[in-house]
């Protein structure tokens, strides 16, 4: 099970990084530096998405010991495809 508090902390860190990037842009810092920071935020957000989608897929696969329904698998796959 995903620790929601850890996920929220990850999102808050990404938010802080974005605020820092805005400040860099306002200060007219080098484009290269801004892009490097944007890439770091992108990687961070992608990791958060990966954690959430993986957890959702696991929940769909193991639902109270019941057999997984086609609709549940389709929903999980839709989430995976949306992040690609």
* Confidence bin at 77 (pLDDT 50/70/90): confident
Domain 4-82 homologous superfamily, CATH: Metal-sensitive repressor, helix protomer (1.20.58.1000)
- Spans of all domains in the chain: 4-82
Distance CA 80, CA 75 (A): 9
Q: What pLDDT was estimated at residue 7?
A: 93
- Give the residue, 60 or 10, on which the prediction is more confident: 10
45, 14 contact by CB (below 8 A) = yes
Three-state SS string over 18-51 comes to HHHHHHHHHCCCCHHHHHHHHHHHHHHHHHHHHH
Angle at 77 between CA 4 and CA 10, to 5 degrees: 25
pTM: 0.73
Q: What mean pLDDT, rounded, does the chain reach?
A: 86
């Amino acid at each position: 099970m995903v620790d929601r508090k850890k996920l929220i902390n990850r999102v808050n860190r990404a938010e802080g990084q974005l605020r820092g990037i805005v400040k860099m842009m306002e200060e007219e810092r080098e484009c290269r530096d801004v892009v490097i920071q944007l890439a770091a935020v992108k990687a961070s957000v992608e990791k958060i998405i990966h954690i959430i989608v993986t957890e959702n897929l696991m929940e769909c696969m193991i639902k109270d010991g019941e057999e997984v329904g086609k609709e549940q698998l389709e929903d999980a796959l839709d989430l995976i495809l949306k992040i690609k």
